[in-house]
Structure 1
Amino acid sequence: RVVGLQVCSGGLTDAGAAKLAKLTSLQILNVAQSAYITDKAMITFAALPQLQVLNLTHTRVTSVGIQLLQHHPQLRTLTLYNCAVSRSAVDKLVAYQPHLVVNGVKPRRSNK
């Protein structure tokens, strides 16, 4: 049973990421500096039922890709340094996931 996986600075691709779908107990995933990870991999990441921490630093994930995480029940921390993700996309995601901490792109949080 794998609960944490770090696949950084390597040649992980979207196709390789798809194989992670079998790791249903995965809680922490770090794919930082994986230049071949795009929005396509987000389909797999969003389907990991126990995923709580996801680091996408220096990947090719965009504002479109992170929206696949809108209904992820367990995700608590998302790291997006040097990704093509806009603040408005983070705001939209946080509206669905108010408990989510996003690092790398600051959401506008209301003071309500």
Structure 2
Amino acid sequence: MTKTYDELNNQIGQLIFKSSPDGAKKVIAQLEFTSEMDVCTFLFDFYNQNDELNWYLPDSDITSPLSDTVKELRQYCINNNLTNGLPAWIGCVITLDIEKSKINIDFKYEPFIEE
């Protein structure tokens, strides 16, 4: 069964929420894929209750399904011509506002994570 755009966004949000540290108000996940889409670089930050920015490493039981779901979202965009014939994005910055239960995904078309 093919998932809808909203279902994929909800699944991404649930995975990030599940990975979030205790006391996190907002989580920012950055994902960038290689051009072959076979390797993904992750960065995870969060704001705590004191609005202090920290980073964390989620377990691999989150990163693997999150990577798969983001790739599925990318393929959905390609299949449904949401790229307007242009190359598809290679990564994204996902902001999950836990207090407001809101998710925002900013698609990236050029490499953006510095090594």
Does TM, scored on the shorter chain, surpass 0.5? no
Query: Larger RCO: Structure 1 or Structure 2 (Cα < 8 Å, ≥ 6 residues apart)?
Result: 2
Bigger Rg, structure 1 or 2: 2
User: Which of the two has greater strand per residue?
Assistant: 2
TM-score normalised by L of structure 2: 0.24
